[in-house]
Chains A and B, each alone.
Chain A
Amino acid sequence: MKSSGTRREIPGTPVFDGRAAQLGYPLNAMCYSFNEAANREAFRADEEAYMERFGLTEAQRDAVRRRDVLGMIAEGGNVYYLAKLAGIFGLNVQDLGSMQTGLPVEDFKAALLAHGVTERRIAA
């Protein structure tokens, strides 16, 4: 695909653009289906069959099998949809942050808490 501009790279930051959306479509479609509880149950019951049903690429299936969040994103996964899959695995966004940064989850949380900012203004 020819593009007129240079793709902007932002370190450590996936930009979910048309290329990613096209690549990630089956994986994201599967995750979108998890809005329904029955589909979450079907995935839990047989992950391989469920991934087959949505036609995930082999690389996407492998990333899901390994619970590899960065791998799923590299294969076009979008975090808003992946969050629904993460919920099935019992993972919250701090867990996802830990898995992607390589920091232990307690350290990831501590880094957030370290900002420790509260600033309040109320008009007289």
Chain B
Amino acid sequence: MSAIVGGIFTSHVPGIGHAIARGLQRDPYWKPFFDGFAPVHEFLAREKPDVAVVFYNDHGLNFFLDKMPTFAIGAAPEYRHEDEGWGLSGFKPFRGAPELSWHIIEQVVRDEFDPVTCQSMLVDHGLAVPFELCWPDVDAWPVRVVPISINTVQHPLPSPKRCFALGRSVGRALDSWAGDERIVVLGTGGLSHQLDGTRAGHINVDYDRFCLRNLAQDPEALLQHDTLDIVELAGSQGVEILNWIAARGTLGGPVRELASNYHVPISNTATATVLLEHRQAVAA
């Protein structure tokens, strides 16, 4: 019987990838962010998950505006990262878990979601940077991956409620998976940041604190704002919190926050890393 061991939520700024490539983890600018991963490394060493289900957004590597899926679920045996246009490359290939992917697809369609399914898919820094953060210094990733991409690029974006419900549906799929894999769920991106417009550089510490305060015990508090409310509060890229909301939705049983690290700024971003331990819901 499979088990969801927990959730890892983290920013995925490309600059973090550059900092890793240049070995800047202890540099005074970067250290307060990287230090947030010590509890994550301990957790992963202890729990040894086999599979990571990752909610992230593509920034124009795999998906373009010609075909822009609201939700896309990878079902490939392998995923690769490629040049995103500014030279960040060299990420190791990612092994897929296609049987689990199709099991998830079956469940979410049964639950009346309409995902795009991808048997060939590139994954960008939104997935690769968190993998480097979670599993530094490995020759090959110790987990297989199911990537789930949420459109945070072209409005209308899915609502926070819809993303949470998608997470709930994926969680049901993981609960009913007959395999004995240990599964960790990742939600990547955020927190508040804005790259475009005359409000570029916008950061909202109060909204970020609100998210961090409620993520573990009252995630539905995050659903009170609609997508454009979140754009206004958290910035046009801060809306990547949708990935966190979906990932949190998968954790249907009791959770406990093991660690939370919030650091502003990294690049233009208010960064955060949260680790939630998850226990299976007990059927009544």
Q: Is the Cβ of B197 less than 8 Å from the Cβ of A100?
A: yes
For the complex formed, measure the closest distance between the CB of A96 and the CB atoms of chain B, giving whole angstroms: 6
* A123 & B257 in contact (Cβ 8 Å cutoff): yes
By a CB distance below 8 angstroms, the chain B residues around A81 are 60
Complex Cα distance A39/B264, Å? 35
Instruction: Check: B219 CB closer than 8 A to any chain A CB.
Output: no
A29 touches B64 (CB 8 A): yes
Indicate if A65 sits at the interface (CB-CB under 8 A).
no
Among A14, A29, A84, A116, the residue within 8 A (CB) of B236 is: A14
How far apart sit A96 and B246, CA to CA, in the bound complex (Å)? 30
CB distance from B62 to the nearest CB of A (A): 10
What is the interface residue range for chain B against chain A? 35 or more
Most chain B beta-carbon neighbours within 10 Å: one of A69, A101, A111, A119 = A119
Residues of B194-231 contacting chain A, CB below 8 A: 194-203, 205, 209, 228, 231
Nearest CB in chain B to that of A72: its residue: B196
Q: How far is the CA of A1 from the CA of B139 in the complex (A)?
A: 53
Query: A12 touching B198 by the CB < 8 A rule?
Result: yes
B67 near A: Cβ within 8 Å? no
Contact with A along B170-208 (1 / 0, CB 8 A): 000000000000000000000000111111111101000
Asked if residues B85 and A35 are in contact (CB atoms below 8 Å), the reply is yes
- Point out the residues of chain A lying under 8 angstroms from B235, CB to CB: 13
Instruction: For A79, give the chain B residue with the smallest CB separation.
Output: B196
Q: With a CB–CB cut-off of 8 A, which chain A residues contact B65?
A: 21, 25, 28-29, 32, 78
Q: Specify which chain B residues have a CB less than 8 angstroms from the CB of A11 in the assembled complex.
A: 199
CB 8 Å contact bits of B261-278 with A (1 = contact, 0 = none): 111110110100000000
- Judged by a CB distance under 8 angstroms, whether A73 is at the interface is yes
State whether A87 and B87 are in contact (beta carbons under 8 Å apart), knowing that A15-B236, A97-B195 are contacts in the complex.
Answer: yes
Tally chain A residues at the interface, Cβ within 8 Å: 54
Q: Per a CB cutoff under 8 Å, which of A10, A93, A108 touches B228?
A: A10
Measured CB to CB, the nearest residue on chain B to A73 is B196
A36 and B267 contact, Cβ closer than 8 Å, known pairs A12-B199, A17-B156, A123-B259: no
B82 contacts the other chain (Cβ, under 8 Å)? yes
| Smallest beta-carbon distance A32→chain B, Å | 5
In the complex, the answer to whether A120 meets B261 with C-beta atoms within 8 Å is: yes
CB pair B84–A35 under 8 Å, yes or no, is yes
Q: Name the distance in Å between B278's Cβ and chain A's nearest Cβ.
A: 14
Enumerate 26 A-B pairs (CB-CB under 8 Å) in ascending A order.
A12-B198, A13-B199, A13-B235, A15-B231, A15-B236, A16-B153, A17-B154, A28-B65, A29-B64, A79-B196, A79-B237, A80-B59, A82-B196, A84-B86, A93-B195, A93-B267, A97-B201, A101-B199, A101-B200, A112-B203, A112-B264, A113-B265, A115-B205, A119-B263, A120-B35, A123-B259
**Chain A residues at the B interface, C-beta cutoff of 8 Å:** 8, 10-18, 21, 25, 28-29, 31-32, 34-37, 40, 69-70, 73, 78-84, 86-87, 92-94, 96-97, 100-102, 108, 111-113, 115-123
Interface residues of B (CB under 8 A from A): 15, 32, 35-36, 39, 59-61, 64-66, 82-87, 153-156, 194-203, 205, 209, 228, 231-232, 235-237, 256-265, 267-268, 270
- Given A13-B236, A16-B155, A120-B36, 11 extra CB contacts under 8 A: A13-B232, A16-B153, A70-B197, A70-B198, A78-B154, A93-B267, A100-B200, A102-B198, A112-B201, A112-B264, A118-B263
